[in-house]
A and B are shown apart, each in its own frame.
Chain A
Amino acid sequence: AQSVTQPDIHITVSEGASLELRCNYSYGATPYLFWYVQSPGQGLQLLLKYFSGDTLVQGIKGFEAEFKRSQSSFNLRKPSVHWSDAAEYFCAVGAGGYGNKLVFGAGTILRVKS
């Protein structure tokens, strides 16, 4: 069965500093991978996704993620964090095929210090 691990429950970074959020997945085949962001009281917004091809994926708001098959990882990065990036971030893996269920990690809460 698919699973996603986000090892960091909370991360605090200073505004302007770089950010890396970790995500490890377990899935037998080539995974479909996603990063979503959730602001307090809001639904989920897609930041980026990986299906195949180039392992470095660019997303919205200046985020990028790198798929590393050998490490079963899909870490999210941003070179310079803004205060508005404070939110909860979820990594998810898609099962593929029809019946397109997403399996989410537990999330990482990002706090930004000014």
Chain B
Amino acid sequence: ETGVTQSPTHLIKTRGQQVTLRCSSQSGHNTVSWYQQALGQGPQFIFQYYREEENGRGNFPPRFSGLQFPNYSSELNVNALELDDSALYLCASSGRDSKETQYFGPGTRLLVL
């Protein structure tokens, strides 16, 4: 069984640029959630996708957007990058039921200069 994978592992961007992060969900999982983990903090929920539609969103501005594809993989897009967007971005896959465990990928470390 393949776990959750994310790409790239590290990324450096400059302020104002745009970035796309990718996530492949674990086999059999149809729900993908994205979290932002700033240095020294716990992960914060960005949004969740189920069957290619956004299914819940945290307190993040619209410049954070996402997609889910028919194979349940997902992308996180961030436009107009700000210095505070520097963080570890974690993807988690699960079944849709709230009792389903979320399995996390290794994350993408984004540095905005």
User: A43 and B98 in contact (CB under 8 A), knowing A100-B48, A106-B41?
Assistant: no
Contact B45 A101 (CB under 8 A): yes
Q: Assign chain A's interface to a size class.
A: 20 to 34
Chain B contacts with A in 98-113, Cβ cutoff 8 A: 98-107
B42 on the A face (CB < 8 A): yes
From 59 to 113 in chain A, residues with beta carbon under 8 angstroms from any chain B beta carbon are: 90, 92, 94-107
Q: B77-113 toward A: CB 8 Å interface, digit per residue (1/0)?
A: 0000000000000101010111111111111000000
Q: Judging by beta carbons under 8 Å apart, are A96 and B41 in contact? A: no
A-B contacts counted at CB < 8 A amount to 72
Cβ of B44 within 8 Å of any chain A Cβ, yes or no, is: yes
Q: Which bracket fits the contact residues of B?
A: 20 to 34
Cβ–Cβ contact A96 & B42, under 8 A: no
Binding site for A on B (CB under 8 A): 4, 31, 33, 35, 40-45, 48, 50, 55-56, 58, 90, 92, 94, 96-107
CB within 8 Å of B: which residues of A?
4, 32, 34, 36, 41-46, 49, 51, 90, 92, 94-107
